[in-house]
Amino acid sequence: MNTYSNTPWDALEIGMEASARRLCRAEDFLVYASSSGNHNPVHLPKEDHDGDGQPDEPIAPSMWVASLISAVLGNQLPGPGTLYRGQNLRFLGRAHAGDELTVTIRLAEKKPERLAVFATTVTKADGTPVVEGEATVVAPETKLSFAADDLPGLTVQRHVHFDRLLELAEPLPALPTAVVCPDDPKSLGGALLAAEHTLITPILVGDEAKIRATGKDIGVDLAPFEIINVVGDAASAACAIQLVNEGRAGAVMKGHLHTDDLLRAIVKSDGGLRTRRRLSHVFCMDVPGLDHLLMITDAAINIAPELHEKVDIIQNAIDLGRALGVEAPKVAVLSAVETVNPKLPSTIEAAALAKMADRGQIRGGIVDGPLAMDNAVDEDAARTKGIRSLVAGHADILMAPNLESANMIAKQLTFLAHAEAGGLVLGAKCPVILSSRADDDKARLASCAVAALYHQWQMDQ
């Protein structure tokens, strides 16, 4: 809790100083753009300012920099109760995201009617001046303290973790991908967008007439792309699987067909893509405000997996986490409580899975359970419950008891916490990109980036 106290008018003396440091963050510039209405692209991250086709480093809005002066006046000297009368500003330089700024104020003059004049400066860490000027304020008359313990926090809806995945994946060779039935605008557009970002090389498998009609509707030229004319969802899925088995494709991407039709072709014992590993689905979620990518499994394939199936499900998710750069993914096996209760079978299975990981039956990650949702992702909640664990409060992967609970967690994060979700099916001979009709472009790109990174990781093993 931050507590601020002021210096009343009678206690102010010429030469008094106060200062504060502030790290410039791109999130600050986005909040300023939203609150002020100033959407000048030179201040926004990921924007091209000079027209060269590349995003440029955002410049700190000058008035945002100047507002840091008011923070020192209002919080420190004179402090709470201070009111502005005037501010002169001279902008001498520019600040950028990542710069640490130092704001310094010095009382230069006291005038009638409790008017205090301060010399104000803002400098970079090396002393380079950014702003200088004079502030005239009405100083508080009486002593006042203020506890800033009830101010709401702000979460900027940026998806920086997906941005990182795209940056990691784009230098890789484009992954040849059989796109099954891309005959609606979202599935075709998503595949072509991923191709534009050099994430995949799409092979369009399905009814050629429908695919070309869709391309015409969305105004894209399909001439650069291979189209394999196959009529019918089942036949198209089978053709895509054959492309993988022949080595022509390294991934499969779901288009405008039912998930069951695609999975039915994948799990065929003769000519499918089955391995010894159980197929499972992983949501990779970029949750605003969370400092790492969060994975949730299994929300799409295994309805009520048994213990031995959960071993494969966890191993699939750990492998994906490692492919995405997490050295030893932390897996929280979820239940309603964090203690073993014979009346809750999920707690017994969670404890068994944690012990199996200890004995090397699950490899490459750290597994703990049972854990409730709160103490799996929140360190304070885990500490309050007295849980000592490398996983509690820091989970990279949430292993839900069943499909229903996993799906609800993922949908709640998407529609209530504004998370982006990319989906991938693992355990087959190749990654399967399982996009939803509700996915936007960012989610579809992220799914392709995850597939490309996972495929490369498999090749490197």
Provide DSSP, 130-176. EEEEEEEEE--SS--EEEE-SPPP------HHHHHHHHHHTTSPPEE
pLDDT at 145: 85
Distance CA 362, CA 348 (A): 17
pLDDT at 18: 96
Q: How far is CA 277 from CA 280, 318, 411, in A?
A: 9, 13, 26
Q: Which residues contact 51 (CB under 8 A, 6 or more apart)?
A: none
**Residue 208 corresponds to which tokens in the numbers above?**
């050629």
Of 442, 371, 384, 438, nearest to 410 by C-alpha is: 438
- The SS3 call for residue 14 is coil
pLDDT per position as a tens digit, 104-120: 999 999 999 999 999 99
Distance CA 115, CA 110 (A): 6
- What is the domain partition of the chain in residue ranges? 2-148, 160-460
Alpha-carbon torsion (289, 448, 255, 316), positive or negative = negative
Strand partners of residue 138: 83, 115
**Residue in the structure block whose two tokens are 């967690």:** 409
pLDDT at 292: 92
pLDDT per position as a tens digit, 30-88: 888 888 999 998 898 876 566 666 667 889 999 999 999 999 999 999 999 999 999 99
**Residue 245 corresponds to which tokens in the numbers above?**
């088995």
- The most distant pair of C-alpha atoms in the chain lies apart, rounded to whole Å, by 92
pLDDT at 119: 97
Given 3-state DSSP classes, what are the helix, strand and coil percentages for the chain, each rounded to the nearest 5?
35, 25, 40
Supply the pTM of this predicted model.
0.77
Strand partners of residue 314: none
Which residues in the chain come in under a pLDDT of 50? Answer: none
pLDDT at 112: 94
pLDDT at 395: 97
Distance CA 266, CA 254 (A): 12
Residue 371 exposure: Cα atoms within 13 Å on the Cβ side: 33
Distance CA 188, CA 177 (A): 13
Q: Which CATH architecture has domain 160-460?
A: 3-Layer(aba) Sandwich (3.40)
The class that CATH gives domain 2-148 is alpha beta
